[in-house]
Structures are given as C-alpha cells and as structure tokens.
Structure 1
C-alpha cells in the first residue's frame, strides 16, 4: 500500500510542485519573477509609450509558448518531475552522510570539535554564505563537466537543443544530468556543513525557510525563472562578476562560438570569474539559441531520453587500433 501511495504521489508530482514552497516551481516563485519582469518592462521602456496590451504581449509572447521546442520542454518537464521525486530520496541522504564523514575526519585530525562561541545570527549568516558558495561551486563544476567531457556533453545536448527559452526549459534535462549536478552539489554542501559542525558544534545552524537556505530561496523567488526567458535583465560591470543575471544565462545558451562554455553558474558569477568562464552580457545583444546543427532526435521526448545514451556509449566505447577518433562536437549553448 505504501508503494502504491508513493507511485500515486510521483504521478501527480508535476502539479504538487506548484504548491510546494520549497520547490523551484512553487507558484509564488513565478509571481516573484513576474513582478521583476513587469518592472523591467516599464523601466526599459520608460521613454516610450506603454500599454497593458503591450505588457501582456511582452510577458506571454505567442511565438515562444506555441513553439515546437516549448512543447518538448513541457513533455520533458512532466517526465523529469516524476523521475526527480525518486532521485530526491537518494540525494537527500548524501549531504548528511558527507557532513558526518567530514566532521568525524576533522575530529580525528584536530581533536574534539572547536565549539567556537559566536552569536547565533552571525553563525547562521556565515553558514548561509558558505552553503551558497558550495551550491554554486557544485553547480559550476558539474556544469563544466557536462560541457567539457564528451560523453557527458551528449546528455547535456538535450538542454542545449531548446530553440526558444521559457521557464520550462530549466527542466529540459536528461536524468543523467539531473543526477550528476545535484550529486556534486550535495558533496560540496556536505563538506561545508561538516566543517561548520566541527567549528561551531551544536550551534552550526543555517538560516532556513521551508528547509531551504534563505539566500537560495531569495534567488529562486526572483531570478530563477527569468534565466530561461526573453527578459534581457543584465548585471554588468563589477555586479556582473558577482551575480548571474538572466542575460548571463541567455548568453550561456547562445549559438555564437564566442559564448561557448561561458557563464556556467546558477545565481552567482564568482566561480565563472575565478575560473575564466565568465562573459559579461553586452548591451543590445541579439542571440540565437539551439545547437550548431538542428538535431531531430531532440524534437521528441523519447529521442531526448534515449538518443543521448546511445551516443554516449559510442563516445566511450573502445576504438579499434589505428581508427581515427573524431574530435567531440563542442557545445553551442549551455
């Protein structure tokens, strides 16, 4: 009976996500992003006449939401959402396990926990900050691997094949990608919390809301859904080296070779800046999205799930002696 209940929950999970506050698809996160998009619309047109009809067309452009690529986004979103709830059971236990291992290693190396005394708010802010940086590093590194390792790129192509960007594109991912990146993030955050547990002892508590780091929640309720849209909200100058604005990620999806493998971060640009993968958005930039060459395999849900497995197997399979190996196709988007 419990198994049947779990299957039923998994089946309706794509809808449950809309009413789950800690989920990236919680309805209020769309409301937050919509407010920012509306504000950007009026600000960017402050010297021009604006109308409510024009605002509606800007917010819900027909050519995007009726595009064949968006239909594929929706199908993959439903499939991946059902898969994601199953994967979550595995990854939820990973970060605590890593945390405990790190804490034990710290104790065996440096002795008993330091239990440094500090105001609980200060400790909370420190852990929020380092947890955010760990999440960002895990995301950046996992994304870097998806771009630079040829067989992983075959899976990441599913995401890059989107020809238009909508909030659903965020979840246009193959299960291999959706497992790899959260796993690396869990390892990174586990290390941070393991060290924090040894340094601060029982006081090592992160400031959370709905069991989510408040900094991650803030970005999730503001910028997340604008990353995969036509809203060209850009952070430039020094701010662009810190924040991964929606325009950063739109560059990241560009088919222009100069944008390949750039802007791999989630909400922050600091790791891109540190490792040389940052590209600050340019004013009035016009971008085209999609792979270098149109790939019909990614125009269906089945093709998007099955074809990457076949191609990755070809990439990693041993080649006969003397047979030339073609250079891997480089990504056109990210």
Structure 2
C-alpha cells in the first residue's frame, strides 16, 4: 500500500493544500485572470475569447510545456520519497533549539504565555513567515550568484514559457537543499518562540498551511508562473512581489537579470538593490540567453545537464 501511495502521489498533489497548485489556488488564479480579462487588459489580446486568453495554445502546447508535463511526475516522486520525510524530521529542530537555549540560560520560557491570545499567535505566525521568506530570498539570491548553485537553478529558468507547473521545474538538488534551508530557518525560529513564550504559542494554520502563506497562494500566486500580467501599484510592489515582477525575474532581457528574487515580500529586494518595479506592461520572453534552454529540452537532460556543466567547469579549472 505504501508503494502504491508513492506512485499515486503526483496525482494527489493538486488536492493537497501544501502544494502551490492546490485546486483552490488554481481556481482563485482563474477567477482573478477572468477579472483581468474583463476589466484590465487595456488594448492587449482583445481578439481572444476567454478560453483562448486563459489557455493559449502557444503556451500550453509549447515544447517547453510538454517537457514540463513529463518532468512533473519524476520530480513529485522525488519529493514524496526524499523531501517529505526530510522536512518531517527537521521539525525536531524546534524542540532541540528550545532545549538547548534552556540548558544554556538555565531559564525556561522567560516570557511564558499560558493561553496565547489570537493576536499573539498571529504575530508569532508572521514572525516565522518573515524568517522563512528571508531564507527563501537569500537562497534564491545565492543560487544566481554562486556558479555551482546557478547550474542547478538554470533548470527553473530554462522554461521558455511559464505555467503554474513551472514551479515544479526545479532540479532535485536545488529542491532538496533549498527546502532544507528554508524549513530549517523557519523551524529554528519556532524553537526560539517556544523557548521565549512557551510551547502553547502556535502558528495559525489553514489546512496545515500557515495562514499568511495560504492567503498568499489564494491571492493569485499561480499567475506569477503564467502569461497573464498582473502588476501591483508602485508602493505595494516595494513591499510585496507581484506576479508581473516574478515574470520579469524569468525574462531574458538583460535589464531584468538578477531582479526580484523575493517570494512573498519585495522589501528584501528593495534592501539589497535587486528590486525592479515595472511602470507599465512589458512584453516578456522567457528562458535562458543564447539558446541555452535547448540544453534542457528533455527530462533526462533536465536531470543531467547541471552535472555536465559543473564537470565542464571543473575540467577547465584543472587544465
């Protein structure tokens, strides 16, 4: 039965709230995209009906998309076999952190809250979310700056068109180490909270997902990997990363390189000088420059190309 559950996992992903492509999040993105079609397109794509606007053949039948559909199944199997057990194990970091701080200081829960009020749990949830979002930003930033990490991150940027499934276009090495980094930081923060305020302080969850992330996914998250342009007002774009800003991050235009690394919050990019806020609609092309996306044109190549590139780098150094 366990092996059967592993095999069926890719088909279960759209029904898991922890997945970015949970059907509720997809449905909310479709709803927002429909509103954009009716009210916000300007002079763009007026010749298309709603179905053509939402599901253009040139995007969803593109060779890059076809490759992604094939890649979805093996990367999901990697996730359930290796990543899920690892993240469950990492939850122990919270208790270890709590016990270690108690042993070092000799103090147990100095600001203990026996029965936390709702606002206190909300603040605690935002604190953990803030730590996780910064860890996400930092790992993403480093994956562009450190050559070895960039070779693995290229898998994600090799998509020549982007769809909600592009979030699963991630090399197993990056997925593993990126997730470990982000989860470890979040769980470490949870341990600090347990030490300071006691074990009764809890994150607020909706279907097992922290409430601020659930809202983020519900508020059109899946449009960030899509052809549909949704930009926020300038001032909001300095605080929150809009779908349009993430699309810009995928752009092959040189002025867009190494911009908008943020996941939820935009002020990390603002602080580090990598924020790019569009002033109007920009027509974008996606993928890697100089035709390098062709090196990732099949499932085997997605897995193997980063190792080939790293070996080539090592060979050039040794020569």
Q: Note the residue ranges of structure 2 that are not aligned, 5 or more in a row.
A: none
| Alpha-carbon offset, residue 179 of structure 1 | 0.8
- Which residue does the alignment assign to 2:140? 143
* Aligned equivalents of 1:76, 1:211: Cα separation in 2: 26
Instruction: State whether residues 155 and 312 of structure 1, in contact with CA within 8 Å, keep that contact through their aligned partners in structure 2.
Output: no
Partner-residue secondary structure (3-state), 1:285: coil
* Aligned equivalents of 1:138, 1:315: Cα separation in 2: 28
Q: 1:201 aligns with which of 176, 198, 206?
A: 198
- Which residue does the alignment assign to 1:327? none
Q: Give deviations 1:232-263, integer Å, cap 9, x for gaps.
A: 10123220011111001011001111211111
Q: 1:108 aligns with which of 82, 90, 103?
A: 103
Alignment of 1:202-281 (within 5 A): 202-281=199-278
Instruction: State whether residues 151 and 315 of structure 1, in contact with CA within 8 Å, keep that contact through their aligned partners in structure 2.
Output: no
- Which residue does the alignment assign to 1:62? 57
- Which residue does the alignment assign to 2:302? 304
* Aligned equivalents of 1:196, 1:48: Cα separation in 2: 49
Taking structure 1 as reference, are residues 102 and 315 closer, same or farther at Cα in structure 2, changes over 3 Å only? Answer: farther
| Alpha-carbon offset, residue 46 of structure 1 | 7.3
Which 4+ residue blocks in structure 1 deviate beyond 6 angstroms? 46-51
- The TM-score, its normalising length taken from structure 2, stands at 0.92
| Alpha-carbon offset, residue 271 of structure 1 | 1.5
Q: Give deviations 1:202-246, integer Å, cap 9, x for gaps.
A: 221111112210111111122221111111101232200111110
- 1:130 matches 2:127: yes
- Which residue does the alignment assign to 1:288? 285
Instruction: State whether residues 251 and 287 of structure 1, in contact with CA within 8 Å, keep that contact through their aligned partners in structure 2.
Output: yes
Aligned residue pairs: how many?
315
- Which residue does the alignment assign to 1:166? 163
- The TM-score, its normalising length taken from structure 1, stands at 0.88
* Aligned equivalents of 1:30, 1:263: Cα separation in 2: 23
* Aligned equivalents of 1:291, 1:76: Cα separation in 2: 18
Taking structure 1 as reference, are residues 185 and 48 closer, same or farther at Cα in structure 2, changes over 3 Å only? Answer: closer
| Alpha-carbon offset, residue 85 of structure 1 | 0.8
Q: Give deviations 1:302-321, integer Å, cap 9, x for gaps.
A: 0110121222233356833x
- Which residue does the alignment assign to 1:93? 89
| Alpha-carbon offset, residue 168 of structure 1 | 1.1
* Aligned equivalents of 2:315, 2:110: Cα separation in 1: 50
Q: 2:312 aligns with which of 311, 314, 317?
A: 314
Which is further off, 311-320 or 278-287? Answer: 311-320
Taking structure 1 as reference, are residues 70 and 49 closer, same or farther at Cα in structure 2, changes over 3 Å only? Answer: closer
- Which residue does the alignment assign to 1:10? 6
* Aligned equivalents of 1:179, 1:308: Cα separation in 2: 15
Partner-residue secondary structure (3-state), 1:319: helix
* Aligned equivalents of 2:18, 2:180: Cα separation in 1: 18
Taking structure 1 as reference, are residues 226 and 308 closer, same or farther at Cα in structure 2, changes over 3 Å only? Answer: same
- Which residue does the alignment assign to 2:28? 32
* Aligned equivalents of 1:46, 1:272: Cα separation in 2: 29
Instruction: State whether residues 132 and 185 of structure 2, in contact with CA within 8 Å, keep that contact through their aligned partners in structure 1.
Output: yes
Instruction: State whether residues 159 and 173 of structure 1, in contact with CA within 8 Å, keep that contact through their aligned partners in structure 2.
Output: yes
Partner-residue secondary structure (3-state), 1:313: helix
Taking structure 1 as reference, are residues 46 and 234 closer, same or farther at Cα in structure 2, changes over 3 Å only? Answer: closer
Partner-residue secondary structure (3-state), 1:23: coil
Q: Note the residue ranges of structure 1 that are not aligned, 5 or more in a row.
A: 324-334
